[in-house]
Chain A
Amino acid sequence: MSANPYQQTRAPSGRFLPPDPRVREPHRLTPQLALRVAILGVVALVAFTVLFFRLWSLQVLSGDEHLNVAQNNQLRLVRVEAPRGPILDRRGRVVVSNVAGTAVQLWVGDMPEEGRYALVQKLARVLDVPPRALAREVDERRLDPLTPITVKTAVGEEQVNYLYEHQAEFPGVEIVQVYLRDYAYAALAAQILGYTGEISPEELERLRRDGYRSGDRIGKTGIEASYDSYLRGRPGLAQIRVDNLGRPQSPIELRQEARPGYALRLTLDMRLQRAAEEALQYGIDLAHENKHWAADGGAIVALDPRDGAIRAMASAPTFKPSVFVGRVDPKKLDALYNDATNPLFNRAIAGLYPPGSTWKPITAIAGMQEHVISPYESLQCTPSARYGLDRQVFRNWNPFVNRPMTLPEALAESCDTYFYEIGNEFYEGGTESRVRMQQWARRLGFGGPTGLDIGGEADGLLPTPEWRRKTFESDWDRAWNPGDSIQLAIGQKDLLVTPLQMTAFYAMLANGGNIVTPYLVSNVEQPGGKGSPRVVLRRFAPPPPQPAGVDAGALTAVRDGLYLATHSGTGTSAGVFSGYSVPISGKTGTAEKVVQLPGYPSDHLEDQSWWCGWGPSDAARLVVCALIENGGHGSSAAAPAALRVFERFFGVEAPPGVLVDTD
């Protein structure tokens, strides 16, 4: 440290002796530093003098001139709304577009102080809108004279003519052209497309620096929200002469053309989407026929197992996005928001359900990879089995079976005891072994989002001993018992998955072992004008399918089992699929879930009806997962619904099948 010259200067005796660190000689202001401080002081004084003189000259000497300019020459730059980009399906069919609509706007600043309420009432009567709500809105907008109130969009010609003829009676009323979102397919794909609305203060704060302004329309959910930056375009600039209260005094003069939003091309095929939504309704109707009255919703996902492109994604119940267009009806909106069945909720990506037997392929893969089972060695399939210290009974769904089965047979007939055995083996293997199946499930895409480009996915829940310890209070609940591993093996108890996660997993089975990332938007395009072609501006290539690391032999055994499930005489969904000319492989699931229903105890269980699979069996082109909430057995509701989707996709009708209640 003594080499440090800084230290030496503080110990003047250092010329003769080593510096004494205890002596702190005070730093003295050198003449040089004093001079420089003085110089900077002068600089500061000069700088402030410049500012003061300039301020004085602008404000006091020529203040009146500037005030004149500010008051009279009020050229305001206003933003011109850009038409929002259209959304197309994969074949270029227009799904969402804009229509020009006539809207009536009210500039509160232009209304007379006297008789304001009478004017509001008169206008409300002409346009047939609730007068009280309008009056309230006018009161709220008095502090903000720059943003007009949109009283009504899609105004009829007669009303427009009346307003034009009686213009003098309606000060502050303006008739303008606006762009309205138009949904060519009504309610189809509603949760995926999402809806737009006026930007909220929170969104405004977050996005102000991206050029969003108060009054802008912005995507609120679904694709409209995730791809808003492409769809919104860039507003144009126009100039308008206004007086010092902001009231327009001249027509709008365009200074910069608005750039319309770009078009988005989806991976969805709207014909298949319609088939999927109809199939979902068909599945729900079937459930009702089978006296499962609580069946009120569900989801179907269909995707291309080769690259993850989603061809159809249905969620029931659904809604019409058009209720959010233009001046919204608060009653309709409230009804939608408060609907107990939650139509706005995309069950395909965020609905959480126990997967039941559709989970068995994951158990099988984990069992084979961890050498718990050997696929072609037989295990006895029994009506029930006992496990644990207390010899708890675990029942098979089929009480009449009692014969040895290989893995493919056990998958085909969905033998529960076969899989209980795997679960028990994992439990018996000790602490590390008890998380092996969950590790495989995580690797295969469960317990987290699949990476869908519109976001909004639920994670699901992969129960582990650690999760139990962290989540529960009592020692009883915190323990990981044999039943936890055993029930997990058949996709029951705490396990929760989304339909999209299941579809992505079956896509891996279908394509021979690669995990795909599901996606919905393939291109951003320049919308082609009259005669000019569309130009693809950006392609969203999904990440290439990643090998899941599943052994080829294990995969073959599972695929064999799922083929038998739809084709052998005892296969669980053979009644539905075996007569179909396109070979389909797949698995049913009937999962018990605690469902709160009025008039039932709080631990009432309802069966969730599942079917997941693909076709053609050996060269898969489409994976379908169907889920009917509270729909009963997988074979009697979800499987026939899924078949409907395949029928439309392959263009081949199936002969009438036999519906039996199997797991």
Chain B
Amino acid sequence: MIELAQQPRVGQHVRAEAAFVAFLRRLDWVLLAAAAALVGYGLWILSGITRFDVPGDESYFVVRQGLAAGIGLAGLIAAIVIPVDLARRHWQLVYVATLALMIVVFVAAETIRGSKRWIDLGFIQFQPSELGKVLFVLAIAGFLVERVGRVTRWRTIFSAIGLGSAPILLVFMQPDLGTALVYAAALFAVLFFVGVRWRQLLALLAIGAVGIAAVLWLLPEAGIQVLKPYQAARLTLDPDADPSGITYNLDQSITAVGSGGLTGRGVVEASQTRLDYLPEHATDFAFASLAEQRGFVGSAILLLLYLLIVWRGLRVVTVAGDLYGAVVAGGLVFAFLFQVFVNVGMTMGVAPVTGIPLPFVTVGGSSMVANLVLIGVLQGIHARGEQPAGRLTA
């Protein structure tokens, strides 16, 4: 110490370094390792399921996905460094940015297969609704936490739902029903963690159930079609509505999962994937393709990694330094869980068929970047939160 005092410059340098090391120590390394493992494992999975997709270039999608992961790493670091509290103080800005992203899609996006989800940035196609997911949670949580004393009032609850509906509707109109559902789940989770009463939550769930019933069965009876026929057919798994399409996909998906067995059929033998029985096996049905190629063991490893992320994420809720951090972490974790469950469940016939990407696996740079940013936000909350004494801090 004496030496350091004699060389104040070096001392400052060392202090800054020490602070940096202390900050690094405050990160949740288990969560970070789980995310890194998921990225690596996801790329390996992708190399199998897309091997025969581009003739003559076996690693076409893997290379692109790897580049996206590189961009995502930058996003992750940025999300750790930027304090999440900034989003709380300026939640209005975050909200406007979310809306702007959604509106830009309508103005600038190319229509791809009848839906406007992607913006062509030249080298990469950017799907704003993926990143919008994180911004959405930050904004809605900001709104509610600002009114923390009044969150049990119906007025506040409905304001939050009204605020959330605008981006949800915009995503729904792209049309991207699956992502709209993820947004809705995130909205519910934010209300849940910010302290809305149980009976209020139950009432909201009841309203939601009535709404879903109305959209799927009651309103079509009355002649009003909210959903496109194919969307309704997917949600209700109605085989008559779309004989060659969705039930065909689902049958093929279940066959693919089942045929994988305990250890999988391998990349070359996995005929469901290789012979294109499984449509969209690099995107929406990636899990089925994985299950076919790598079997129960390979799929279970992926699910366990997801579970690890969810567990560490919930732990972040408990160590968060303030209510806002806790609510944001809770909203993001639940949205992640919902997304994993609906996607994986869909391929096995236990959840409705909607086009939701499987985090860290599905081909798609925007999804990869958004999920890494999500991990970064959780890390940032963790690092600025309360540390259990005597474990991570020396």
Contact = CB atoms under 8 A, between A and B. Distances in A.
Contacts of A69: 255, 258-259
Interface of A: 4-6, 9-10, 26-27, 29, 32-34, 36-37, 40-41, 43-44, 47-48, 50-52, 54-56, 58-60, 62-67, 69-71, 74, 76-77, 140-141, 143-144, 146-147, 201, 204-205, 209-211, 214, 237, 242, 244-246, 255-256
A60 to B, nearest CB: 6
Nearest to A204: B54
Contacts of B299: 55, 59
B344 A76 contact: no
Interface string B350-390: 10000000000000000000000000000000000010000
Contact of A41 (B112, B255, B311): B311
Contact of A32 (B54, B189, B195, B321): B195
Nearest to B304: A48
Contacts of B148: 5-6, 9
A141 B341 CA distance: 38
Contact of A70 (B146, B195, B259): B259
A37 B271 contact: no
Interface string B108-122: 000011000010000
Contact of B303 (A4, A52, A58, A244): A52
B169 interface: no
B149 A5 contact: yes
A37 B314 contact: yes
B261 A63 contact: yes
B350 A143 contact: no
23 contacts: A5-B147, A5-B148, A5-B149, A6-B148, A9-B149, A10-B322, A27-B386, A29-B326, A33-B193, A40-B189, A48-B307, A51-B303, A54-B349, A55-B348, A63-B260, A63-B262, A69-B255, A70-B292, A143-B58, A144-B52, A201-B56, A201-B60, A246-B274
B192 A36 contact: yes
Given A10-B322, A27-B320, A205-B54, 18 more contacts: A5-B149, A27-B326, A33-B195, A51-B345, A52-B303, A55-B257, A55-B291, A58-B257, A63-B258, A63-B262, A69-B255, A70-B271, A70-B272, A77-B244, A201-B56, A214-B55, A246-B271, A246-B275
Nearest to A50: B350
Nearest to A237: B244
B103 to A, nearest CB: 21
A33 B314 CA distance: 11
Contacts, number: 174
Given A54-B350, A242-B275, A60 B113 contact: no
B105 interface: no
B314 A146 contact: no
Contact of B276 (A60, A146, A204): A146
A615 B324 CA distance: 77
B330 interface: yes
Nearest to B271: A244
Contact of A40 (B58, B276, B334, B348): B334
A418 B113 CA distance: 59
A76 B261 contact: no
A55 B300 contact: yes
A43 B313 CA distance: 14
